[in-house]
């Protein structure tokens, strides 16, 4: 089977979203351009890391090149709900970010999970032996807006336990700070 690289140079929508209730949510990143919709499944932590790293990349681009996000966000819709039905093309394993100075764009690449370790030399390369990929081009403002929305999606889950920081279920949880005793949600 040949490698699939889904490239979105001018997406209409690019967002992180979830399906399910807090504690049982499945996380996705989705790109939409016209009738083409590509969704990839990922972990909550991957969405959080992607948002964090985009913020760091934007800050670094500002320091090195003086480029800053515009006052107004880009034309890409970065919030809302996922287009349904959500059929993931693959589960994300490796993520990569790059700055294209010539085009003044941030490049987000999400690579499929594989059994073999994927080196950084494979990210943003179109080698046939590399895993499937979703590659999206964004302005700095769009990348910044995506990061903010992705952080809010991650934060919308279960509240953390004030003692240990682990997620609290509606019925509470077994708290390691209480030596394994059950901590109720309202306590």
Answer yes or no: do 41 and 123 share one domain. Answer: yes
Question: In which element (H, E) is residue 88 found?
Answer: strand 88-100
Name residue 174's beta-bridge partners: 182
Q: Parallel, antiparallel, or unpaired: how do β-strands 5-8 and 133-138 relate?
A: parallel
Work out how many domains the chain is built from and give that number: 2
Is residue 88 located within the same domain as residue 174?
no
The residue with greater pLDDT, 134 or 175, is 134
Q: Is there a single domain that holds both residue 111 and residue 136?
A: yes
Q: Are residues 54 and 83 in the same domain?
A: yes
Chain-centre distance for alpha carbon 12: 17
Q: Please tell me whether residues 32 and 56 are part of one structural domain.
A: yes
Statement to judge: residues 28 and 12 lie in one domain: yes
Residue 147 falls in which region: left (phi positive, over 0), alpha (psi -120 to 50) or beta = alpha
149 and 165 together in one domain: no
Q: Say if residues 172 and 162 touch (Cβ distance below 8 Å).
A: no
Domain limits for position 177? 160-187
Same domain for 96 and 109, yes or no, is: yes
Q: What average pLDDT does the segment 15-44 reach?
A: 94
Check whether residue 87 and residue 177 sit in a common domain: no
Q: Tell me: do 49 and 109 sit in the same domain.
A: yes
Q: What is the pLDDT of residues 86-139, one digit of tens each?
A: 999 999 999 999 999 898 999 999 999 998 877 777 666 777 778 999 999 999
List, in order, residues 6 or more apart from 72 with CB less than 8 Å away.
141
Asked if the model's pLDDT at residue 30 lies above 90, the reply is yes
CA 104/CA 61 separation, integer angstroms: 10
Model confidence over 109-124: pLDDT tens digits?
A: 999 999 887 777 766 6
């Amino acid at each position: 089977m040949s490698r699939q690289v889904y490239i979105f140079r001018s997406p209409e929508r690019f967002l992180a979203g979830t399906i399910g209730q807090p504690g049982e949510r499945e996380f996705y990143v989705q790109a939409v351009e016209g009738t083409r919709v590509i969704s990839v499944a990922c972990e909550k932590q991957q969405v959080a890391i992607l948002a964090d790293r985009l913020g760091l990349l934007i800050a670094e681009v500002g320091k090195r090149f003086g480029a800053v996000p515009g006052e107004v966000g880009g034309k890409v819709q970065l919030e809302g709900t996922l287009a349904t039905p959500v059929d993931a093309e693959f589960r994300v394993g490796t993520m990569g970010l790059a700055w294209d100075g010539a085009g003044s764009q941030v490049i987000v690449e999400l690579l499929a999970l594989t059994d073999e370790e994927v080196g950084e030399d494979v990210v943003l390369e179109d080698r046939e032996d590399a895993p499937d990929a979703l590659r999206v081009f964004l302005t700095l403002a769009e990348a910044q807006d995506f990061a903010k929305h992705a952080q809010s999606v991650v934060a919308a889950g279960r509240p953390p336990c004030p003692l240990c920081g682990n997620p609290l279920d509606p019925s509470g949880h077994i708290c390691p700070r209480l030596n394994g005793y059950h901590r109720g949600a309202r306590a």
